Amino acid sequence: MGFISSKSMNENIKNQQEFMVMNSRLQLERQLLMQNQMQERQVAMQIAWSREILKYLGAFFGLAAVGLTTGVIKKKKNPGLFLPMVPLSFILAYQYDMDYGSLLQRMKGEAENILDTVCTMLKMPKGPLTF
C-alpha cells in the first residue's frame, strides 16, 4: 500500500517539477521579450528626440546662413563674417546623417565588430564585480 502511494506521489512531484521548470523558462522568455521591447522603445524615443533637434538646428542654420550672407554682401570688404558657417555646416551634416543617414547602422556595425574582435578591451580592471 505504501509503495503504490509513494510511487504516485513521486510521479506527481516529478510532474510538478517539470511544470515549474517549463513555467520558469516561459517567464524568462517573456521577460527577455519585454526587455527587448522596452529597449527598442527607448531607442525610438532617442531617434525622435534627435530628429526634433535637427529641425531646430536646421532652422538656426538657415537663418544664420541668410544673415551672414547678407552681412557679407553689405560689407564687401569682410568675407570673414561667413566663416561661422563652416562649423555649423559640419554640425548640421552630422545631425542629418545621424537622423536620416546611415550613421546609426555604421555605429551598430562598429559596435558589433568591437564585441567580436576586441572584446578584451571591454573587460573591467581587476575583473568583474563579485559579491
Concatenate the DSSP letters of all residues of 87-118 into one string.
Answer: HHHHHHHHHHHHHHSSHHHHHHHHHHHHHHH-
130 located within any domain: no
Which pLDDT score, from 0 to 100, does residue 118 have?
Answer: 86
91 located within any domain: yes
Q: Are 121 and 114 in contact (CB under 8 A)?
A: yes
DSSP string covering 37-86: HHHHHHHHHHHHHHHHHHHHHHHHHHHHHHHHHHHHHHSTT-GGGGTTHH
Which pLDDT score, from 0 to 100, does residue 32 have?
Answer: 93
119 located within any domain: no
Q: Domain range for residue 60? A: 8-109
25 located within any domain: yes
* 13-52: pLDDT as tens digits: 888 999 999 999 999 999 999 999 999 999 899 999 999 9
Residue 96, C-beta contacts closer than 8 angstroms, at least 6 positions apart: 54
Q: Are 100 and 55 in contact (CB under 8 A)?
A: no
34 located within any domain: yes
131 located within any domain: no
Total domain count, the chain: 1
Whether residue 5 is predicted with pLDDT greater than 70 in this model: the reply is no
Residue 76, C-beta contacts closer than 8 angstroms, at least 6 positions apart: none
Q: Are 75 and 83 in contact (CB under 8 A)?
A: no
117 located within any domain: no
103 located within any domain: yes
pLDDT cut 70: percent of the chain above it: 95
